[in-house]
Amino acid sequence: MLHTIQNDLLTCSVSSNGSEIRSLKKKETDKEYIWQIDESVWASSSPVLFPAIGKIKGDKITYNGKDYAMTKHGIIRHNDDMLFEQHSDSKCSFTLNSSPETLVKYPFMFSFTVVYELVSNQLKMTYHIKNKGDVPMYFSCGGHTAYACPLTNGKKLEDYVIEFPNGKSLKAVTLGDSGLLSDEIRKIPIENSALPLSKTLFDRDALIFVNVDYDWVRLRACLPDRQESGKNKGLMVKFEGYPNLALWSKPGADYVCIEPWLGLPDSEDESTEISEKSSYQSIAAGSQFSITITTIVE
């Protein structure tokens, strides 16, 4: 089922299945900014990642000596048990509370809420994570939104770049053949603070930038002068508080995922013990944590 929020400028539709964004449109132009699912390519459009990011070593976590099966990206993705609430025309939320079903996968008492809110030309996606237990809770979380690329008819993916806030060269951590984090570091060339997109850029899976010193990137057309009466305008993704950023697409597909991550996939030598995972966060008993990803439509 799709749930829609709107304001004077934008409309956004979110699926009850996994609380994934399915559509983000500018009312004035009817332009779609979210990749429209083609299951022959990829069966998602914006997975919500919690309490794991990427592949888990051995497909399990361990806590207090007991193993728990954990699938790639965690327990929210494809979950039909999210509790929906419509707060206003422009704001809605989806909540998953711990239950006997979640405790066999993730051994903590918790409440996870993702709030979607349209504010002017922005879509804010905020995670609220509460530890409802009496012991520290360990987790990672992140976004995985697939933005349509090209954004304009008649253009192609190669006509677009990811713009960064500074002109530094980029160094990306890579994934091995197993899907786990490898030790290899790739130097990624950029031009005028921008990474050109191509059909082969992600032939070796995601580009993962760790401990970044910036909190936004832009998806935009290559042309700096915004020709065609502004039709080359793109979007900005802001991710204050997220230390890591991944970029990914299925090779040859017409989208690019911009993925702020609080955490990382497991590496080959990562402990399966969740309390020992180096990139995971912890929340004290009874405490709550919130973090936001903002998509700004230009």
Task: Encode pLDDT of 277-289 as tens digits.
Answer: 999 999 999 999 9
244: tokens are 């890591």
Strand-pair partners of 131? 110
pLDDT reading at 168 higher than 80: no
Position 294 pLDDT exceeds 80: yes
46-56 per-position pLDDT tens digit:
999 999 999 99
Which stretches of the chain are DSSP H helices? 100-103
Please count the other Cβ atoms lying within 10 Å of the Cβ belonging to residue 86: 11
pLDDT, residue 166, reads: 80
pLDDT score at 232: 54
- Quote the pLDDT of residue 277: 95
pLDDT for 153 beyond 90? no
Instruction: Give the span between the Cα atoms of 49 and 75, in whole angstroms.
Output: 8
Return the pLDDT at 228: 46
Q: What average pLDDT does range 230-249 have in this prediction?
A: 90
Question: Strand pairing of 255-262 and 141-142?
Answer: antiparallel
In CATH, what number is assigned to the domain containing residue 262?
A: 2.70.98.10
Higher pLDDT, 180 or 154: 180
Instruction: Report the chain's mean pLDDT, rounded to a whole number.
Output: 94
For 222, counting Cβ atoms within 10 Å of its Cβ (0-12 exposed, 13-18 middle, 19+ buried), the class is middle
What confidence category does residue 154 fall into, taking pLDDT thresholds of 50, 70 and 90?
A: confident
**Cα 219 vs. chain centroid, distance in angstroms?**
15
pLDDT in tens, 119-149: 999 999 999 999 999 999 999 999 999 999 9
Instruction: Tell me the residue range of the domain where 210 lies.
Output: 2-297
Asked whether the predicted pLDDT for residue 66 surpasses 70, the reply is: yes
Domain count, the chain: 1
Closest CA to 99 of 127, 128, 79: 79
Residue-level pLDDT at 226 = 46
Q: What is the dihedral of CA 27, 33, 39, 45, to 10 degrees?
A: -110
Nearest to 178 by CA among 97, 278, 59, 271: 59
A 10 A CB-CB count for 288 gives: 13
Confidence of residue 224 (pLDDT cuts 50, 70, 90): low
Dig out the tokens for 72 from the structure.
Answer: 């790639």
pLDDT digits (tens, 9 = 90+) for 241-274: 999 999 999 988 999 999 999 999 999 999 999 9
CA distance 147 to 256: 5
